[in-house]
Amino acid sequence: MQKFGILCVLCAMGCGQSPPASLPTAELPGLPAGAVGHSGSWPSWRGSHRDAISDETGLLESWPTEGPPLKWQAAGLGKGYSSVAIDAGRIFTMGVIEDGSNVLALNFANGRRLWALRVGKEEPNSTPTVDGDRVYALDRGGALVCIDAVSGKLVWSKNLVGDFGGRMMSGWGFSESPLVDGDRLLCTPGVKNSLIVALDKKTGNTIWTAQAPADLGPSGTDGAGYSSIVVSNGGGVKQYVQIVGRGVVSVRADDGKFLWNYNRVANATANIPTPLVKDDYVFASTGYGAGAALLQLSKSADGVAVKEVYFLDGGKMQNHHGGMVLLGDYVYCGKGHNQGFPVCLELKTGKFAWEGGRGPGQGSAAVIEADGNLYFRYQNGVMALIEANPKKYVLKGTFETATKKGEGWPHPVIVDRQLFLRDQDALLCYDIAKTGAAAKPESSRGDRKL
């Protein structure tokens, strides 16, 4: 197995060069030299719990015709469909700048660049993960890096292809967002002898590699999918649930023992949405005609048994890549392949509580929830505010984003009553605070100096 040194991310990508030093720190008008502003936290893909649910309150209950105020707009993020992670006054994302794919840190107060570190070549799809003073990121070519969040210096690197023989199910490259769980970093090479791997987050050393059975089912194709790992305690066993090329899989958190798989929702092109977990249930859906299913987990000898509660074919329910939100006993999302029709589905029965028709936008819709409302970001640049109400469909506002540089696929993020929307080279920050809302308590982290 080929090994890669700490300073050889690009060698792992096959280019034969070491990454350059971080780009110069940007000046920060309006802030003391070297200071970063306070912020709340959205440290990873779909937030702290990977459920796309924000704990923000005091947000606008409806939007004016022109939309909420645009607080600031940043440029220079480069090409890519990464969303953003936010913590301790810094925004982290990825983008192609000049001839390389970079991990970027921006100032939360104004979007000015703090540092950039090149890690690969192609346009990235994944979102970095922040954990204390470290940020973790995965490039499309499989370069997995740990970076000092303040200085932008590389701490360690691995490569899912070179170190674990990893492969993707299709040609859009590695796209998951790494998961930090305690002292471990989890990611998905997607191959039989390294389906999922657990690494020491401080050193990058391998803790375990999950071995997959020879047959994961006839649907789909071998390799990693485009989804991201979530934690489940279904059946009384802590486990990591992921969607790979052959469908939903689960491995035991302690040692990586393979527990169960479900193949029926797999398609052979791209299995993308992050699964939903609640108690002993897992809800999974993919696009390209595959469909959706609710699974029930139970303890079984030294493992976990899985049972299909129901399956909905693609003509009835499929989520392409906008993601789903589970609130109470209801799933909210955009359904249809590349459609984003707003729907509310009762989790336990698979019956629609309501369907909102076409909805106000076009194409797929990336969805998060905050303060009782759903934020739908449509592919064509339309934002919609929809009430998270299982009884009826209530549209509470729409607006068109200030820029339209690419498909509106990056998922929205809300931190400190501000809505962040990545649009290729641009990052838009909207003020969505309700007038007269009580001031949020100041962060206990305090300002961190560069």
Is 428 domain-assigned? no
Is 285 domain-assigned? yes
CATH code for the domain of 263: 2.40.128.630
Q: Name, in order, each residue with C-beta under 8 angstroms of 302's C-beta and a sequence gap of 6 or more.
A: 257
Q: How many domains does the chain have?
A: 2
Is 190 domain-assigned? yes
Q: What is the pLDDT of residue 98?
A: 87
Answer yes or no: is pLDDT of 12 > 50: no
Tokens 């009826």: give the residue. Answer: 392
Whether residue 203 is found in the same domain as residue 271: yes
Domain-ending residue, one of 157, 180, 204: 157
Please report how many Cα atoms fall inside a 13 Å half-sphere around the Cα of residue 297, on the Cβ side: 28
Whether residue 3 is found in the same domain as residue 149: yes
- Name the least confident of 107-121, 183-197, 431-445: 431-445
Whether residue 120 is found in the same domain as residue 10: yes
Compute, in degrees rounded to 10, the torsion defined by CA atoms 365, 368, 373, 376. -20
Average pLDDT over residues 158-168: 98
Q: Give the whole-angstrom CA distance, residue 194 versus residue 163.
A: 10
Domain ranges, residue 210: 160-312
CATH code for the domain of 132: 2.40.10.480
Compute, in degrees rounded to 10, the torsion defined by CA atoms 178, 181, 183, 186. -30
Q: Band of the pLDDT at 302, cuts 50, 70, 90? A: confident
Average pLDDT over residues 147-166: 98
Instruction: Extract the tokens encoding 371.
Output: 């303060």
Average pLDDT over residues 303-311: 97
Is 381 domain-assigned? no
Whether residue 149 is found in the same domain as residue 191: no
pLDDT in tens, 371-420: 999 999 999 999 999 999 999 999 999 999 999 999 999 999 999 999 99
Q: Band of the pLDDT at 34, cuts 50, 70, 90? A: low
Domain-ending residue, one of 277, 312, 347: 312
Is 5 domain-assigned? yes
Whether residue 255 is found in the same domain as residue 178: yes
Is 244 domain-assigned? yes
Domain-ending residue, one of 117, 134, 157: 157
Whether residue 241 is found in the same domain as residue 289: yes
Is 129 domain-assigned? yes
Whether residue 1 is found in the same domain as residue 147: yes
Residue 16 CA: distances (Å) to CA of 8, 11, 19, 164, 240: 8, 5, 10, 19, 35
Answer yes or no: is pLDDT of 249 > 50: yes
Instruction: Give the number of other CB atoms < 10 A from CB of residue 448.
Output: 15
In three-state secondary structure terms, 11 is helix
Instruction: Extract the tokens encoding 225.
Output: 């999918």
In three-state secondary structure terms, 53 is strand
Q: φ and ψ at 12, to 5 degrees?
A: -65, -25
Answer yes or no: is pLDDT of 203 > 80: yes
Task: Read off the pTM.
Answer: 0.91
Whether residue 145 is found in the same domain as residue 282: no
Whether residue 104 is found in the same domain as residue 206: no
In this structure, are residues 404 and 390 in contact, taking their beta carbons and an 8 Å threshold? no
Whether residue 140 is found in the same domain as residue 264: no
Q: Band of the pLDDT at 23, cuts 50, 70, 90? A: very low
Is 76 domain-assigned? no
